[in-house]
Copies of this chain bind each other. A is one copy, B any other.
């Protein structure tokens, strides 16, 4: 079992690798967060591309370093394109991330996420309610906000690992990373103001695809780096401002400024 200091060092190295390799990240995501997601990826050092046409999405998923599937404003047309992109990603070995936004109460996204979770996602990222719903637990979700606590979702995350083989990243006050046959990891960084800006969680899904692209198939490490980078950047931004508009901008600045050394010095990783 690795100590948290070793894990922090590996995350720091992965951040450096991301900035060196500038992976191309194909985002199929919701209409609320497209711009902010692209800016988060640019700030951290990756190259975003949002492509939603069915034929083009299948072409691009094979070119990209990583693929994000976020069902936040799913439509039938986008669902069809997502299926094609996931199949292309799997055919070409592109790792892909599933973000099951608000799965549970709503029919189209719930059916689609349940269909896609069987198609070997590298990482599944969601809040506690979403992870519980996707694992088949009774959820207490209230729309897109999570009311179930991350702690209560740990059993669901473990079950979702068994069901899918994916690394599961359940985000919340404490982020939780579960991988099949591995010791679970928690990240205790981050600030409540992050929930007052739309798209922070969705951007985290995109970061997961970026880190997966440069992780040499170590998706547990990619998920940890994702959680750590966003939460430490959140801490850094929260030191500058706690007003939500200004924080949204400060978080982009922090994603650009954050260094491997910042991760080492500030990261609160519990194994």
Binding site for B on A (CB under 8 A): 24, 30-36, 38-39, 42-43, 47-53, 55-56, 59-60, 63-64, 72-77, 102, 105-109, 142-145, 196-199, 243-246, 248-253, 256-257
Contact = CB atoms under 8 A, between A and B. Distances in A.
Given A35-B36, A108-B55, A108-B56, A102 B49 contact: yes
A52 to B, nearest CB: 6
B76 A53 contact: yes
A145 B47 CA distance: 8
Number of chain copies forming the complex: 3
Given A244-B253, A244-B256, A245-B252, 6 more contacts: A32-B35, A32-B48, A35-B36, A42-B197, A49-B102, A56-B107
B63 A244 contact: no
A42 to B, nearest CB: 5
Contact of A257 (B36, B51, B243): B243
Nearest to A48: B198
19 contacts: A31-B34, A32-B50, A35-B36, A39-B197, A43-B196, A47-B145, A50-B72, A51-B106, A52-B73, A53-B106, A56-B107, A60-B105, A75-B77, A77-B77, A243-B252, A245-B248, A245-B253, A246-B252, A248-B252
Given A51-B73, A144-B49, A196-B42, A106 B248 contact: no
